[in-house]
Amino acid sequence: MIRRTQIIGGLVFSMACAISSVGYANERKPFTWLHEVKFGILHHDTGGLWSGFSRESGVDFNLEAIFSPHVNILGGSIRPAFGGSANTAGDTSKLYTDIRWQYEHTSGIFFGIGVGGAVHNGKLHLEQNDRKALGSRVLFHIPIEIGYRLGAKSSLSVYFDHVSNAFLADENEGMDTLGGRFGYRF
């Protein structure tokens, strides 16, 4: 079972790898393989959205890396992303990887949507009324984000994500998070 400390450790390790790579990359653009890093504070298990109801509590700290390799399609770019959310109340935390499409308008407004997979440390079956029954250790991850680019390097956004097993397991309560993020582009 994945513990909250393992999720936080994975996030810290990922950020340490990104920071330590500065000396190995191009001096003019130190993070050539890293497109953007996003930090967020999210409401955990938000009710009334895709999943419909809430059982868990707390705030999630979110960290995500969006990588440079990309494919331009439909006016936007598709890029790989890796991230995680650690819950402050000891409820479900997760690590995820996605393929993310993002469109950026010249006004600075951007919109992103993706699909990927997540692993979590939550409950699989209904054991407690204050914990979601997610049915499977590996879930689908669907993020949606809309924001505004403050300048060439920074942005603010509203971020939503949904995880569920898409009814591939008997129990599938699903979970939604909603909050704000700050992005820094390299």
- Count of alpha carbons within 13 Å of 44, Cβ hemisphere only? 23
Residue 100 belongs to domain with CATH number? 2.40.160.20
Q: How many CB atoms lie within 10 A of CB 80?
A: 17
Task: Give the 3-state secondary structure of 30-47.
Answer: CCCCEEEEEEEEEECCCC
- Domain residue limits at 124: 4-185
Q: Rounded CA gap, 37 and 56, in Å?
A: 27
CB 37 within 8 A of CB 18: yes
Tally of domains in the chain:
1
Strand partners, 119: 95, 138
51 φ/ψ sector (left φ>0, alpha ψ -120 to 50, else beta): alpha
59 CB-contact burial (10 Å; exposed 0-12 / middle 13-18 / buried 19+): middle
One digit per residue, pLDDT tens: the chain, 186 residues? Answer: 555 555 555 555 555 444 444 444 445 566 689 999 999 999 999 999 999 999 999 999 999 999 999 999 999 999 999 999 999 999 999 999 999 999 999 999 999 999 999 999 999 999 989 999 999 999 999 999 999 999 999 999 999 999 999 999 999 999 999 999 999 999
Identity at 98, one-letter amino acid code: D
Global pTM?
0.84
pLDDT of res. 25? 45
pLDDT of res. 94? 98
Q: Rounded CA gap, 119 and 138, in Å?
A: 5
CB 185 within 8 A of CB 152: yes
Token duo for residue 71: 């494919």
Q: Rounded CA gap, 109 and 96, in Å?
A: 25
pLDDT of res. 32? 86
